[in-house]
Structures are given as structure tokens and as C-alpha cells.
């Protein structure tokens, strides 16, 4: 009898962890596992604010997929998913086609632009190794150009970060550290540079503890960050952001106002909310008994507050354990388990040696929170590739 085919789309946190967990759950002959990813490497999305600002080399955030999966058990295909034809259980790839009996969709997120004019054309986003390399190179180019221009443009050294959520604040924290280095390197007076955070909501890091938020804002303001809260951006142009009552000249605009699910899912006919599939409790797509969704493409509701859980790597990783167990059960005709997220805490970095967070009921600040952030990062590497991967790619200097 031929083995059932499991196709996993995307090798982010959800996809790659599902693949590795499946090799632990399933026997050698129980299924044929294929993992598809655009690149031949897996990258740590949660670290991308660092290479974006240039405070960490981008290679530290990525690792060869073949080095971390069991290639005797998992067939890795480097290709780009174009669409999913679930009626025919086929995935169209840029360079071929893939058929499946069971599908796991882990294609991650796209930046949410809310249809604001100019965002797609002129703003940078923190999405992948490629997009963050572009941000870093662009900012360095702006600094390098400054003293070589007779009339530097007004916004040449202005950096506007749209959105004061997790990604925006973590990037600002890194950038606030990087600016003095860039100024020294390129002979630019610090007062010529502006780092502005424009946010439509009246507060930064919505949902975070107020005391922690106050700590973050005070710290970042001391490092020269200008917060413009309650100021929605109406339009982005080539060299500015347009607010309700003013225009800020800026040649660097980084868009971090939230995410939606990968548009491939929506365009393939799945019912979505902002590109994310509201999954059943066992993480299957509604009405599709052979399709599981992991990570940011999955939408799950926190019943206590009747709102979606924020999309996080923490949840994506936990989901991968459930999906792997449920696939094994499904292949063996058993009863599937429900996914119950266990939110262990959240830590947001604010630059070198600084962070805020809540782990359990404990609030963490400064160096302790920053060390905790590194422990969380290392824990994921341990789950994925054991101690060798922690030694190779981990953040070993905690303080």
C-alpha cells in the first residue's frame, strides 16, 4: 500500500516545527513528508528587527533547512507556492506541482497596508531576510550620501516607523542604538537625524502592561525617539508621510502596522478574515478534514475576551506539536485533540541590553528582560535542533 502524502507549505516556525515533530510522531513507513519553502534556509522572523537596523548580521538569523531537518525522512523542495487547488489536492509551485493527501499550510504573514495609498510602493517592511537587508542597505546609503550632496533632501536622514506595535517598537529600539554608530561612521551630526514613530492609536504596544509601556517610552525617548501617537498616516509618498494635519519629510519609511495572512490562502479559495483562516479547535480549516493551518495563517479566538490571539511564534510553535499529533491520529483513524494555547509570556526588546516583558505574573525590565528574551530565542533553537543548534546560532551572551 502506498504511504499517505503529507505536504507542508512554508518552513517558518509553524511549518518546520511540524515537519520535525512529524518525524518523531510517525514511523518511517507511515507517511511521505514533503516540506516546501521559497528559500533553502529557515529564518527567525522574531529576530528580523536586528538585521533590519544593522545591529546583527542577517546570517545569524538564518540556517540551512537541510541542516536542521532529517533529510532521510523529509523531502525538502525549494520552490515558491503559487496556489492551492484543494479540490484536486494539488499545490501549484513556480517550477512544478505537488499532490497531497494531507496538507499543512504555514505560509506566514504579509504586511497589512489597510489600503493606504503609497505604502506598497514606497514603504519598507520587516518580513524576510531579503526585505530587512534592503532596509539596512538603504539606511546606510542615506548616511553615506549625506556629506556627498550639495543640497541633501529634507528627509534624507529622517526615519519614520509606522506603527508602535511589537515589531515597530523592537525595530525602533535597535535603530536608536544604531544611529549614533552610523553618525560616527559617516561624520553626520546626531541632530541631523530624526527617528519618528507614528501610531494611529493613543498608546504604544497596545495590550501591554501600562507600567512596562511607560518604561519603554521613557527609555526610547531618552535615546532620541519622537513618538507621534494618535496620528494616523493618510498617505505615503516617495519622500514623506502625510498625516491629518502635516507632512513629515522622510526618505525612509518602515511599515509595521500589523499583519494579515499570506494572500495565497485567500486567493486559493479558502474563507479568511484578513487573510487568516478561522480554524476549528483541532487546527483544521472548516469543512476540510485533511487541511491543517499553523502559525500566522491560522486565526484562533481567545474565548476569555472573544478576540483573536495575536499572531506569534510562540503560538505557531505550540500549534506544530498539536498538528503533528493530530496528523498521526488522523492517519490512524483516531479522535483529534483540541489546540489549547499556553501563553507563557511576552518580552519585547528595546535595543542592546534592554527589554520589557511579562512572564507569568512577573514583570521584567531592562537587563533581566533582555536576558529572558535571549533565553526564549535559544529555547526555540533547542526545540528545533537541540544543543548543537543553540551553540551554532544561539545568543549565548545573556548580559
Residues 202-261 that bind ligand FAD (CB under 6 A): none
Give the residues across from 259 on adjacent strands: 111
Which letter does DSSP use for residue 244 in this model?
S
Residue whose CB is less far from ligand FAD, 112 or 239: 112
**Distance separating alpha carbons of residues 285 and 378, to the nearest angstrom:** 31
The one segment of 26-34, 142-150, 164-172, 189-197 that binds ligand FAD by CB under 6 A: 164-172
Let me know: does 160 contact 141? Beta carbons within 8 Å.
no
**Distance separating alpha carbons of residues 139 and 183, to the nearest angstrom:** 11
Set of cell numbers at residue 385: 535542533
- Judge whether 97 counts as a catalytic residue: no
The one segment of 163-171, 191-199, 212-220, 350-358 that binds ligand FAD by CB under 6 A: 163-171
The one segment of 26-34, 55-63, 199-207, 306-314 that binds ligand FAD by CB under 6 A: 306-314
Q: Between 13-25 and 366-393, two packed helices, what is the crossing angle to 10 degrees? A: 60
Residues 1-60 that bind ligand FAD (CB under 6 A): 10-15, 36-39, 45-46, 48-49
Long-range CB contacts for residues 352-361, cutoff 8 Å, separation at least 24: 352/55, 352/177, 353/399, 354/173, 354/219, 356/208, 356/212, 356/213, 356/215, 356/216, 357/212, 358/208, 358/209, 358/212
- For the bound state, the minimum distance from the C-beta of residue 347 to ligand FAD, rounded and expressed in Å, comes to 6
Pairing of strands 41-43, 62-64: antiparallel
Residue whose CB is less far from ligand FAD, 119 or 156: 119
Residue whose CB is less far from ligand FAD, 94 or 304: 94
Set of cell numbers at residue 228: 507621534
- For the bound state, the minimum distance from the C-beta of residue 229 to ligand FAD, rounded and expressed in Å, comes to 20
State how far the alpha carbon of 305 is from the alpha carbons of 182, 301, 308, 345, in Å: 44, 8, 9, 17
Give the residues across from 91 on adjacent strands: 84, 98
Binding flag, residue 170, ligand FAD (CB under 6 A): yes
* Window 86-115: contact mask with ligand FAD (x via CB under 6 A): --------------------xxxx------
**Distance separating alpha carbons of residues 373 and 371, to the nearest angstrom:** 5
- For the bound state, the minimum distance from the C-beta of residue 104 to ligand FAD, rounded and expressed in Å, comes to 10
Residue whose CB is less far from ligand FAD, 79 or 140: 79
Element (H, E) at 34: strand 32-37
Let me know: does 175 contact 195? Beta carbons within 8 Å.
yes
* Window 254-293: contact mask with ligand FAD (x via CB under 6 A): --------x-x-----------------------------
| Per annotation, catalytic residue among 25, 50, 170, 354 | 170
Binding flag, residue 313, ligand FAD (CB under 6 A): yes
Residue whose CB is less far from ligand FAD, 315 or 330: 315
Q: Give the gyration radius of the chain's Cα atoms.
A: 22
User: Nearest residue by C-beta to ligand FAD?
Assistant: 12
Binding flag, residue 363, ligand FAD (CB under 6 A): no
Q: Which residue numbers are catalytic?
A: 170
Residue ranges in contact with ligand FAD by CB under 6 A: 10-15, 36-39, 45-46, 48-49, 80-81, 106-109, 126, 128, 166-167, 170, 262, 264, 295-296, 311-314, 316
Amino acid at each position: 500500500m502506498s504511504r499517505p502524502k503529507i505536504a507542508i507549505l512554508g518552513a517558518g516556525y509553524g511549518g518546520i516545527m511540524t515537519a520535525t515533530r512529524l518525524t518523531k510522531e510517525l514511523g518511517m513507513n507511515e507517511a511521505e513528508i514533503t516540506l516546501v519553502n521559497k528559500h533553502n534556509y529557515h529564518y527567525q522572523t522574531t529576530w528580523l528587527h536586528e538585521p533590519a537596523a544593522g545591529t546583527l548580521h542577517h546570517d545569524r538569523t538564518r540556517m540551512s533547512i537541510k541542516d536542521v531537518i532529517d533529510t532521510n525522512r523529509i523531502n525538502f523542495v525549494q520552490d515558491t507556492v503559487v496556489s492551492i487547488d484543494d479540490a484536486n489536492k494539488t499545490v501549484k509551485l513556480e517550477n512544478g506541482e505537488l499532490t497531497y493527501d494531507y496538507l499543512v499550510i504555514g505560509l506566514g504573514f504579509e504586511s497589512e497596508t489597510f489600503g493606504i495609498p503609497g505604502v506598497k510602493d514606497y514603504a519598507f517592511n520587516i518580513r524576510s531576510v531579503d526585505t530587512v537587508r534592503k532596509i539596512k542597505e538603504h539606511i546606510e546609503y542615506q548616511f553615506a550620501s549625506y556629506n556627498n550632496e550639495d543640497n541633501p533632501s529634507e528627509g534624507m536622514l529622517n526615519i519614520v516607523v509606522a506603527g508602535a506595535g511589537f515589531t515597530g517598537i523592537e525595530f525602533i529600539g535597535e535603530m536608536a542604538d544604531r544611529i549614533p554608530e552610523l553618525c560616527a561612521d559617516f561624520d553626520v551630526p546626531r541632530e541631523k537625524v530624526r527617528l519618528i514613530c507614528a501610531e494611529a492609536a493613543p498608546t504604544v504596544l497596545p495590550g501591554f502592561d501600562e507600567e512596562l509601556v511607560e518604561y519603554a517610552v521613557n527609555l526610547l525617548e531618552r535615546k532620541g525617539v519622537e513618538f507621534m501617537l494618535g496620528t494616523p498616516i493618510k498617505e505615503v509618498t516617495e519622500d514623506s508621510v502625510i498625516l491629518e494635519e502635516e507632512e513629515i519629510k522622510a526618505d525612509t519609511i518602515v511599515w509595521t502596522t500589523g499583519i494579515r495572512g499570506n494572500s495565497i490562502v485567500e486567493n486559493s479559495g479558502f474563507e479568511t478574515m484578513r487573510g487568516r483562516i478561522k480554524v476549528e479547535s483541532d487546527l483544521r480549516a472548516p469543512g476540510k478534514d485533511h487541511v491543517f493551518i499553523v502559525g500566522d495563517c491560522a486565526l484562533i479566538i481567545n474565548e476569555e475576551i472573544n478576540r483573536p490571539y495575536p499572531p506569534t511564534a510562540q503560538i505557531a510553535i505550540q500549534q506544530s506539536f498539536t498538528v503533528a499529533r493530530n496528523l498521526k491520529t488522523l492517519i490512524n483513524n483516531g479522535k483529534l485533540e483540541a489546540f489549547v494555547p499556553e501563553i507563557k509570556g511576552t518580552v519585547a526588546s528595546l535595543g542592546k541590553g534592554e527589554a520589557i516583558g511579562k512572564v507569568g505574573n512577573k514583570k521584567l525590565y531592562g537587563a533581566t528582560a533582555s536576558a529572558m528574551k535571549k533565553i526564549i530565542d535559544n529555547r526555540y533553537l533547542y526545540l528545533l535542533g537541540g544543543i548543537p543548534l543553540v551553540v551554532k546560532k544561539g545568543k549565548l551572551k545573556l548580559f
